[in-house]
Homo-oligomer: A and B are copies of this chain.
Amino acid sequence: MRIVQKYGGSSVATAERIRHVVSRIIMTRQAGHEVIVVVSAMGDTTDELIALAKQLAAEPDPRELDVLMSTGETQAAALVAIALKEQHVPAVSLMASQAGIRTTDRHRRALITAVHPERVVRELDAGKVCIITGFQGITEEGDITTIGRGGSDSSAVAVAVALKADRCEFYKDVEGILTADPRIVPQAQKLDVISHEEILELTTLGAQVLHPRAIELGQVYRMPLVVLPTFSMGSGTVIRALTDEERVMEQFNRVSGVVCERNVAKVTVVGVPDRPGVAYQIFKPLADAGINVDIIVQNVSRDGITDMSFTLATEDLPAARRLLEPVRGALGAAILDAATGFGKISIVGVGMQTHPGYAATMFGALRDAEINIQMITTSDIRITCLIDDRDVDTAVRTLHEAFIEQVAAAASA
């Protein structure tokens, strides 16, 4: 197989850890695979370089900051190559310019536009391990860019796609992706397999492990992504496209994870006219101000008048109030009602698409736990409820037990 392995900053933070990375690479080669490595900068290097730049300018020039930051990954790549060659493994470090990682010229947040892997292929054909710098790219003009925080994960997927790799592995400080936050649910289980779309919905569980951009890229190109523990031999979590058969099979007929979010505020515009354009009038100014609105519910209209409710982060509430007061006046709405102290709870699973009854089970479990549901929103593979913030932990544990622990127990029975 052709395997891309991405090692994060903490995996290459010291000489000792680099030697450990090298032993993983050698193990993979000895299993008969071709290995391409993508590395981040060592430990806190990127932050240290930014701090240095900020001694010289409050807002350092983005082009030059990219040049500066890119040196972190270049150093890490060279050091891994040095350590590999010391073990008599043919290896070559390649910067983004050499690996052909082309990007837009929007510095600091460039987007990968293409990967031209001719040099990488030549080095692989010569039997070498290629160590490619993550996070960085190069413009048409030959200038260095960086592709934003978490970008190294995206680099790895882009390289894997361009090289038609069989899988892209991410070595992290975790055993894999879990079914819930273990600080809330001690029984949280490691997922063996999950689909790209599920992990994208499990934001708080997934995003801590793998950048959403990388997952989306994997989804679009159907590249299997594997989250593996750096410092143990665990099997990790495979993120991949599920087959049609799998989607209806029993083992996937389950909830993949339970996630929650806190510090949610709810706003209701009471008594707005039920006519086209009202939603636009309310949400356009919020969008322009960069305020993310989440659950939106419009009540059934009565006498041409309705209520519009939505949630947002508590920290955005003051700004939202200020923006909406004139809108309320223009709409002739009666009241702008705002309240804080809410939380969101979601279950995610592809099985929902083909198996009914998830919603009923979720609502029943919350009722049994005497948790009141304020608002509901759903997608194809997710059901989210707005509840009191103080009920969030109980709700996560209740739903994890109902959808994951009981199913696992039944399966093993």
**Chain A residues within CB distance 8 Å of chain B:** 15, 18-19, 49, 52-53, 55-58, 60-61, 63-65, 67-68, 70-71, 74-75, 77-79, 81-83, 85-86, 92-93, 95, 97-98, 119, 142-143
**A18-B56, A53-B82 known; A68 vs B64 contact (CB < 8 Å):** no
Q: How many chain copies?
A: 2
Residues of B within 8 A of A58 (CB): 86
- Inter-chain CA distance A64–B19, complex, in Å, is 16
Neighbour of A75 across the interface among B55, B68, B142, CB < 8 A: B68
**A85-B57, A92-B63 known; A52 vs B74 contact (CB < 8 Å):** no
Q: Are A55 and B15 closer than 8 Å at their CB atoms?
A: yes
10 pairs, A vs B, C-beta closer than 8 Å: A15-B56, A18-B56, A53-B78, A57-B83, A61-B85, A63-B92, A65-B82, A68-B74, A71-B71, A74-B74
Q: A68-B75, A97-B97 are in contact. List 5 more A-B contacts (CB 8 A).
A: A18-B56, A56-B82, A64-B82, A71-B74, A98-B143
* A344 CB, nearest partner CB in chain B, Å: 42
Q: Are B67 and A93 closer than 8 Å at their CB atoms?
A: yes
Residues of B within 8 A of A49 (CB): 75
Neighbour of A82 across the interface among B61, B70, B74, B79, CB < 8 A: B61
Residues of B within 8 A of A64 (CB): 78-79, 81-82, 85, 93
Neighbour of A79 across the interface among B68, B74, B83, B86, CB < 8 A: B68
Q: Are A83 and B56 closer than 8 Å at their CB atoms?
A: yes
- Inter-chain CA distance A75–B72, complex, in Å, is 10
Most chain B CB within a 10 A radius of its CB, from A53, A57, A61, A67: A67
